[in-house]
Amino acid sequence: MAEENRRFLLAERPTGPVDENTYDLVREPVPEIGEGEALVRVQWISIDPTNRTWIGETPTYLPPVAIGEVMRGLGLGEVVASNNENFPVGTLVNGLTGWQDYAVISDENPLMVVPEGVKAEPAQLLGMMGMTGCTAYFGMLEIGEPKEGETVVVSAAAGAVGTVAGQLAKMKGARVVGIAGGPEKCAWLTDELGFDAAVDYKADDWREQLVAATPDGIDVDFENVGGEIMEAVFARLNIRARVALCGLISGYNDDEPPPGPRSFGNLLINRVKLQGFIILDYYPRFGEAIGDLSQWVSEGKLRSEETVVEGFEKLPDALNMLFAGENMGKLVVRIAD
Phi and psi at residue 81, in whole multiples of 5°?
Answer: -155, 145
Cβ pair 313, 173 in contact under 8 A = no
Cβ pair 210, 227 in contact under 8 A = no
Instruction: Confirm or reject binding of residue 17 to a second copy (CB under 8 A).
Output: no
Q: What is the DSSP string of 107-142?
A: SSS--EEPPTT----HHHHHTTTSHHHHHHHHIIII
Instruction: Confirm or reject binding of residue 245 to a second copy (CB under 8 A).
Output: yes
Angle (CA) 91-95-98 rounded to 5° is: 110
Interface segment toward a second copy; rule CB under 8 A; list 122-130, 167-175, 199-207, 271-279: 271-279
Instruction: Confirm or reject binding of residue 248 to a second copy (CB under 8 A).
Output: yes
Select 77 or 261, whichever has its Cβ closest to a second copy: 261
Instruction: Confirm or reject binding of residue 267 to a second copy (CB under 8 A).
Output: yes
CB of 44 to a second copy, least distance (A): 27
Biggest CA–CA distance in the chain, Å, is 63
Select 24 or 281, whichever has its Cβ closest to a second copy: 281
Select 133 or 261, whichever has its Cβ closest to a second copy: 261
CB of 78 to a second copy, least distance (A): 33
333 CB-near residues (< 8 Å, 6+ apart)? 44, 45, 47, 308, 309, 310, 311, 312, 314, 315, 318
Cβ pair 74, 333 in contact under 8 A = no
Cβ pair 151, 199 in contact under 8 A = no
Other C-beta atoms within 10 Å of 94: how many?
Answer: 22
CB of 257 to a second copy, least distance (A): 5
| Single residue of 270, 292, 308, 334 touching a second copy by CB under 8 A | 270
Instruction: Confirm or reject binding of residue 259 to a second copy (CB under 8 A).
Output: yes
CB of 43 to a second copy, least distance (A): 31
Select 265 or 311, whichever has its Cβ closest to a second copy: 265
| Single residue of 27, 147, 202, 262 touching a second copy by CB under 8 A | 262
Size of the site for a second copy (CB under 8 A): 32
Instruction: Confirm or reject binding of residue 96 to a second copy (CB under 8 A).
Output: no
Cβ pair 77, 41 in contact under 8 A = yes
* Contacts to a second copy from residues 42-61, by CB under 8 A: 60-61
* Contacts to a second copy from residues 177-236, by CB under 8 A: 226, 231
Instruction: Confirm or reject binding of residue 258 to a second copy (CB under 8 A).
Output: yes
| Single residue of 70, 158, 272, 335 touching a second copy by CB under 8 A | 272
CB of 211 to a second copy, least distance (A): 17
- What value does the CA radius of gyration of the chain take, rounded to a whole number of Å? 20
158 CB-near residues (< 8 Å, 6+ apart)? 178, 180, 181, 185, 188, 189, 325, 327, 328, 329
Taking the C-alpha atoms of residue 273 and residue 183, their distance in angstroms, rounded to an integer, is: 32
Instruction: Confirm or reject binding of residue 88 to a second copy (CB under 8 A).
Output: no
| Single residue of 275, 285, 298, 324 touching a second copy by CB under 8 A | 275
Select 271 or 301, whichever has its Cβ closest to a second copy: 271
Residue ranges that bind a second copy, judged by CB under 8 A: 60-61, 226, 231, 245-248, 251, 256-265, 267-278, 281
